[in-house]
Amino acid sequence: MKKKSAYEGLQDSIKKLKTPKIDTFKNIYTERNYRITIETPEFTCICPRTGLPDFATITIKYIPEELCVELKSFKEYIVSFRELGIFHENAVNKILEDLAKAVKPRWLRVEGVFNTRGGLQTTVSAKYKKNKKH
């Protein structure tokens, strides 16, 4: 009989997962499109199948509208994944959703390049584009 992981079943509720608040500050250059890139080579989470740590470089690129990401709170947000059993795909999409909700950017892309484990390397990217109402 296969041993059940302590993280099994968690993936079903990732969208509802409570994560630390991402603080923002006012963008004073709303008249122009400019891109902000945030990169952290220190992202870690737990594989929900094996319970082993996963390591990745997460890169965020966004064009702000009214708000920008406050970096200290974003670092605390990223660290909150350390003890979380989450698939790579779910981690990247959860970060995208949480950032889009906090910042409401014009455009946002999140990419996770996960370290090779078991001979496989995974890169996951997801995009958000603000809908313009005409």
47 catalytic, yes or no?
yes
Q: Which of 58, 59, 43, 62 is nearest to 103 (CA)?
A: 62
pTM value > 0.85:
yes
CATH architecture under which domain 21-129 falls: 2-Layer Sandwich (3.30)
Q: Where are the domains of the chain?
A: 21-129
DSSP string across 31-63: TS---EEEEEEEEEEE-TTT--EEEEEEEEEEE
Distance of CA 10 to the CA centre of its chain: 17
Catalytic residue of the set 12, 23, 45, 54: 54
For 111-123, letters b (16+ CB in 10 Å) and e give bbbbeeeeeeebe
Catalytic residue of the set 12, 47, 68, 98: 47
23 catalytic, yes or no?
no
**Side-chain half-sphere exposure of 27, counting CA atoms within 13 A:** 20
C-alpha to C-alpha distance for 63 and 32, rounded to whole angstroms = 9
Q: What digits encode the pLDDT tens for the residues 48-97?
A: 888 899 999 999 999 999 999 999 999 999 999 999 999 999 999 999 99
